[in-house]
Amino acid sequence: MLTDKEIDTDKLINSAKYILDNYQFQLKIKKRDESQMSAVEYSGMPGSPSMTNTAENGILRHVSAEDYVKEVDFAVDNLKYDNDLYKIIKYTYIAPMDTAIAIAMKLNISRSKYYRLLRKAQKEFGLLCKLVNINR
């Protein structure tokens, strides 16, 4: 059984930030792959075997990006028990606003409180998201 004292909090937060920072990119890949899924061509003519199957690779990428986005969304939704943490993650990574100051103003908190809550939100996200590596 893993306890809170065994977790390297800094590594957990850095891993969570990496996953969250990559969210917008994975979302774009997911959307692009969804549009390409309907454009797979099949000529019906026999051909030489290919070493790579681009249609299959596209599907695998799609599943991967789709799973990534679903897992992040699931973890973020599970932060709703603490509205401030949820909003900080949402406005910082999921539906990003321009600056930390803009987010702090929207939440009616100081910039220093924003950064304290951001660190807490990143830790909580890291504990909830299966994509985040929990290091000891």
What tens digit of pLDDT does each residue of 85-113 get? 999 999 999 999 889 999 999 999 999 99
Tally of domains in the chain: 1
**DSSP per residue, 62-88:** HHHHHHHHHHHHHHHHGGGGSHHHHHH
Is 136 part of a structural domain of the chain? no
Is 135 part of a structural domain of the chain? no
In this prediction, residue 10 carries a pLDDT of: 93
Distance CA 63, CA 65 (A): 6
Is 41 part of a structural domain of the chain? yes
pTM: predicted TM-score of the whole model, two decimal places:
0.77
Distance CA 5, CA 9 (A): 9
Query: In this structure, which amino acid lies at residue 93?
Result: Y
Is 66 part of a structural domain of the chain? yes
On whether the CB atoms of residues 130 and 71 are closer than 8 A, the answer is: yes
Is 133 part of a structural domain of the chain? no
On whether the CB atoms of residues 82 and 128 are closer than 8 A, the answer is: no
User: Domain range spanning residue 45?
Assistant: 4-128
Is 54 part of a structural domain of the chain? yes
Average pLDDT, the chain: 84
Q: What separation, in Å, do the N-terminal and C-terminal C-alpha atoms of the chain show?
A: 12
Longest distance between any two alpha carbons in the chain, whole Å: 66
Buried b (16+ CB within 10 A) or exposed e, 103-115: bbeebeeeeeebe
51-92: per-residue pLDDT in tens?
A: 555 554 554 444 488 999 999 999 999 999 999 999 999 999
Placement of tokens 């987010």 in the chain: 103
